[in-house]
Structure 1
Amino acid sequence: MTIPSPRDTAPRVLVVDDEAPLARLVASYLEREGFAVEVTGDGQDAIERARSWRPGVIVLDLGLPNVDGVEVCRTVRTFSDCYVIMLTARVEEVDKIVGLSVGADDYLTKPFSPRELVARVRAMLRRPRQDPDGSHQPGVRFGPLTVDVVGRDVTLDGEAVELTRTEFDVLAALAARPHVAFSRRQLIEAVWGPGWVGDEHLVDVHVAHLRRKLGDDASAPRFIRTVRGVGYRMGPGK
């Protein structure tokens, strides 16, 4: 009987950055924390490794040459629901939104602390994939929208809605307590974990993507409502 090596059983992280010294530094921090790590600076190679090696998390630079991070993320999302942390050297909000719009779960702006990156990777891999206390029942309905938390399925008018892991987790957190207003911080803790540190407006971007996929107009919402001064809630208006 073949005994699996620690690398075979360790959580897998693919680091994709054409700045070789930075990629090696990030990889060394991750490896010291017990992760199995592969590194590449090429977008096309990253896609191939994501398909064959099947990492749990991809740390992905937005500004790759040739096939850039946006295209890598868009392609990976066609066959994998692994977590994606986008790295960007630019601080403009549009760069962050573009990365998240193609399916990234989180982002970091360079320069960043490798320890913070490791903490975010750990937080992602600890995120529960279903309701932890079993209190959630499958098939929570909001008119034509059904959220099946156990099966991780969403249907609208009987048609399946394709969501990323993070989009689903945000929707499931809101659906768990209809009519309750969640602050951004509460959603961060429910979805990203209490140890997450960063820009809480990350929640707004994921909610915007959810609304787009659900055909939910923010000015006249059917499902996700903005509660001014607080955050968001599910359910009909008062």
Structure 2
Amino acid sequence: MVRVATINILFDLEEWTQRRDLLVEGLAAQNADLIALQEVVTLPEDTGAWLAEELDMPYVYFVPKANNEENSLFEGIAILSRYPFVQQEMLVLEGQNRVAQYIQVVVDGQPFVLCNGHYYWYPGSHPGRDIQVQQVLDWLGQLPPELPVVAVGDFNGTPETSAIALMRQQFTSAYAAHHGQEPVYTCPTPLVRRNWQKVLWHAFRNLRFNRTLRPWRGTLDYIFVSHHLRVKNCQLILDQPASNSRTLYPSDHFGIMADLEILH
């Protein structure tokens, strides 16, 4: 059995000191073997390395965004692990400086691959996201077919979009397999309501793309599993606020955790 978690931890370091404590508390409670992170920054603080140290996860693989020189924060994705890496690889995706990564570890004598990505942002379906997902599917398709593979991350696409349909052609959503449907939403959490500028920005973006002022929320985060794995459990995590605030959440995304059995 292997426990996998994924969470977009939000690159914005506003209130990071409070949020990071909630992240550690929530992730420690899950005791995951492998954690995939999106929107990790390395300046002024390495958020992925800090979390790894606090969670006592000795193996970290960080991949920065491609062509990132224009960004004030050095941002990327990371995988934290309790198992040493047998192999680690990265892939530059087409568009928006996006990247994907995978690691291979050995769990109970069995090889296991975890792929992490943060994909093209655009409301609804978009050919840019479809191209990136197809890149990753082709990339993972080069692995030996007997390897169990899990592909996780912030896909920036809701369940009805074309990129998620592409993923379902080769993988199964762990949450949908366990619950019969995807979660109602994974983003945004009430964290966005703590800053009036963010509230206005979200309202403007929603009006521009969705032609409505009704607040948007949807499922963007997934754990996809290959047929070599059986889903024993899958739940939303990091979905509760701080005890002293109804709007202070670990991130603007919920996380997802899955217990997976490797089929021999």
The structure in which a higher percent of residues are helix is: 1
The TM-score with structure 2 as length reference comes to 0.26
TM-score calculated relative to the size of structure 1? 0.28
Indicate the structure with greater strand content: 2
User: Rg bigger for which structure?
Assistant: 1
